[in-house]
Structure 1
Amino acid sequence: MSLFHIDAGQEWRGGQRQSLFLVRELRKMGYRVEFVVQPGSPLEKKALEAGVPVLPLRMRSELDLLAVFRLARQMKKRNCRLVHFHEAHGLAVGASAARRAGVPLRFISRRVDFPLRSRAKYTRDVDAIIAISEGVRQVLLDSGVPGSLITVIPSGIDFSPFEPAGSGDFLRREFGFAPDDYLAGIVAALEDHKGHAYLIEASKIVRDQAPKVKLIVVGTGSLRLELDKQARDLGVEEIVFFLGFRDDVPRILASLDLFVLSSHHEGMGSSLLDAMASRLPVVATRAGGIPEVVMDRETGLLVPARDPAALAQAILELYRDRGLAARLAGRGLEVVHRKYSAEAMAGKVVELYERFAAKKGIRLQ
């Protein structure tokens, strides 16, 4: 018998990292897991690097019938008893395959706080939806999903890449920053809901009062050229540095003085967990599940979303008050280790699996 996990993501983002963490932990617990991924995707590469076997399956669209038939055949062949969908594309293909194969247990992870386009897609023949935050749970409820279907299990991370934190001189050497430059950074896809435009606008306000502050932007996405133009139009291109996709995020975080997340939609913000594990003070917006991770003036500073002036003032406050920044960073490190490990996340997911399996008289191991 086996458990199928399906993630059709073509990019390496927070959701893909979470699905890999979960599959890896389940395998450690002795579950037989088939990890269905797009061939040639960053997720396939990362999984293989982590020693996690994959089942590559090309899923070209949500209506890819060939993928449905191939996946259903694999589910029958490998006696699939449970399937877990990690994003919308994989859900569409995988749900059809699971129905054809008669898979008795079906779970969905929901990691974004966008309203549902199709309630039926998320509720038909589903045992449970795992929301990564209360914010996501509320959006699901507002979209008409019954509360009895929703379980909140926060994301978790692997702390090992951040311990030890590494040299804080890495970015300073690479870009020639001065020793007294203050490096504020964001790690997020360059998409509208991440709010980069507001952060770049805030950087102009910060530059006028504290020219030593630099903004490090890590990530790729559809807004890359637009954001670059905005920086040039605002005259901040000399303090805003676009690094693109990076495989060495822990080294980059170790080089920063401050982490910022400017989203106006956010399921939870797993990059915040990375930043807190890297002992960084955090400035973030009150969006989605972020306030569940960042407690204002306890583990970071929270500001309204879409408010460049508020973002700027929070950045300036921590730039000027290094004692406060250090206290927030220390408290954040304590909280992230206590509440947000990949092991704890996987343990809660297994409890959910086994509870539903017991109700249906199904053995998963």
Structure 2
Amino acid sequence: MRIIQIIDSLEAGGAERMAVNYANTLVDEIDFSGLVATRKEGVLLNQINQKVSYLFLNKKRQLDFGALFRLRSFVLKNKVTHIHAHSTSFFLAVLLKCICPNLKIIRHDHYGNNEFLATRPYFVLKQTASFFNGVIAVNQKLKNWSEVQLKAENVIYLPNFPTKEMGGEEHTILKGVEGKRIVSLANLREQKNHFLLLEVAQKLKEFYPDWTFHLVGKDFEDEYSRQIIKQIKECDLESNVFLYGSRQDVEYILNQAPIAVLTSQSEGLPVALLEYGLYKKAVVVTRVGEIPMIVQHGKNGLIVDSDEPDLFYLSVVDLIANVTLRSDFGKALYDTVQANYTAESVMEKYLNWLKIS
């Protein structure tokens, strides 16, 4: 098989990370593995394995025929058999299928607003559904949604999987007191619900002022991020909550923090949580998306409803107060990730599925 991954950007988001992870993992498994970024590059460019064939299309608009034919040339030159389109890049894959009908195309559904699937727009997806040889869903809700709403027949659930970052010279030094840091890996998007984190930070400041929160993720410099910055200032949290923007050195960052959190009000299967497990972090997370399939409360972490700030705070305090519990949870979460969410196990299912798709 000769497969390329297509993604709109290489910013540090979950879908983007998975496109890179698939390309990197496949490079030693199949005849050809490529990666195409359609609209924008980003920090993940440095994470692409040198053996992966990479193309940046610099696509400027929805119907960019120059970009389409550059993609066609890349596909023909490398004798590509499968196009694996992540998130919204599926539309370009459909256009390519129209002029290269022998290609097999796969749509990878990373849709994150799983708690609001009933309001998901799907007109374009339904009109183009017949072009796809198969659909990959990152959780069971999305699999069921494609089968019911799109009448898709060949849908498989494949979990996301973490990989350790490649190279990189960035070494982010977290502020605060050593051993008393809490990390959140989440882009500044509304679904990530950073205001829950800020509410918890206010409570924590009163009784545990040495403990600090460290928010790592892309700042889109929109109204949502402006409100976060405003609330940090208004609540006098500038010495308790720190923003770092996008960072590549996830392992280096997580090694500086004994606790990691996710405060999302909606999720698919967050790569950040799998990375927490990969680096043996004790976690407090919200009960959304596929998270309850990974974190079992009291066994490998703590999980609470997304509208329970007091309970979230108390859960964080439980971890602060008990070093042994933190260690036990971190090891147990690592075991969970190793047992169910490794690149090797996902790739085996993926390649077997492609052979019959």
Count of aligned pairs: 344
Deviation at 1:12, TM superposition (A): 2.3
Q: Could you tell me which amino acid in structure 1 is paired with residue 54 of structure 2?
A: V
Distance in 1 (alpha carbons) for counterparts of 2:50 and 2:74: 23
- Say whether residues 1:264 and 2:265 are aligned partners: yes
Query: What RMSD over aligned residues (CA atoms) do the two structures have, in Å?
Result: 2.5
Deviation at 1:49, TM superposition (A): 5.5
Give the secondary structure class of the aligned counterpart of 1:103.
coil
- Can you list the C-alpha shifts for 1:105-157, whole angstroms capped at 9, x where unaligned? 22111112333422315623112111112233244456x13363321011112
Mapping 1:179-218, distance limit 5 Å: 179=178, 182-218=180-216
Distance in 1 (alpha carbons) for counterparts of 2:307 and 2:128: 30
Mapping 1:85-100, distance limit 5 Å: 85-88=85-88, 90-100=89-99
Q: 1:313 to 1:103 in 2, by over 3 A?
A: farther
Q: Could you tell me which amino acid in structure 2 is paired with residue 150 of structure 1?
A: V
User: Which residue pairs with 2:80 in the alignment?
Assistant: 80
Deviation at 1:73, TM superposition (A): 4.1
- Can you list the C-alpha shifts for 1:295-334, whole angstroms capped at 9, x where unaligned? 2222111111133222212111211233322221111111
Deviation at 1:68, TM superposition (A): 2.4
Q: 1:274 to 1:122 in 2, by over 3 A?
A: farther
Query: Which ranges of structure 1 fall in alignment gaps of 5 or more residues?
Result: 357-365
Give the secondary structure class of the aligned counterpart of 2:255.
helix
Moved more, 238-247 or 61-70: 61-70
Distance in 1 (alpha carbons) for counterparts of 2:330 and 2:147: 34
Distance in 2 (alpha carbons) for counterparts of 1:312 and 1:59: 44
Q: 1:327 to 1:32 in 2, by over 3 A?
A: same
- Say whether residues 1:281 and 2:282 are aligned partners: yes
Deviation at 1:31, TM superposition (A): 2.4
Q: Could you tell me which amino acid in structure 2 is paired with residue 210 of structure 1?
A: Y
- TM-score, with length taken from structure 1: 0.86
Give the secondary structure class of the aligned counterpart of 1:28.
coil
Mapping 1:290-309, distance limit 5 Å: 290-309=291-310
- Can you list the C-alpha shifts for 1:257-293, whole angstroms capped at 9, x where unaligned? 1000011111111111111111111111111111112
Distance in 2 (alpha carbons) for counterparts of 1:236 and 1:117: 38
Contact 1:67 1:93 in 2 (8 A): no
Deviation at 1:184, TM superposition (A): 1.0
Q: Could you tell me which amino acid in structure 2 is paired with residue 3 of structure 1?
A: I
Deviation at 1:81, TM superposition (A): 2.2
Contact 1:136 1:289 in 2 (8 A): no
Q: Could you tell me which amino acid in structure 1 is paired with residue 228 of structure 2?
A: L
Contact 1:133 1:289 in 2 (8 A): yes
Contact 2:47 2:166 in 1 (8 A): no
User: Which residue pairs with 2:102 in the alignment?
Assistant: 103
Mapping 1:39-50, distance limit 5 Å: 41-42=41-42, 45-48=45-48, 50=50
Provide the identity percentage.
20
Give the secondary structure class of the aligned counterpart of 2:81.
strand
Distance in 2 (alpha carbons) for counterparts of 1:26 and 1:50: 13
Query: Which ranges of structure 2 fall in alignment gaps of 5 or more residues?
Result: none
Q: Could you tell me which amino acid in structure 2 is paired with residue 42 of structure 1?
A: G
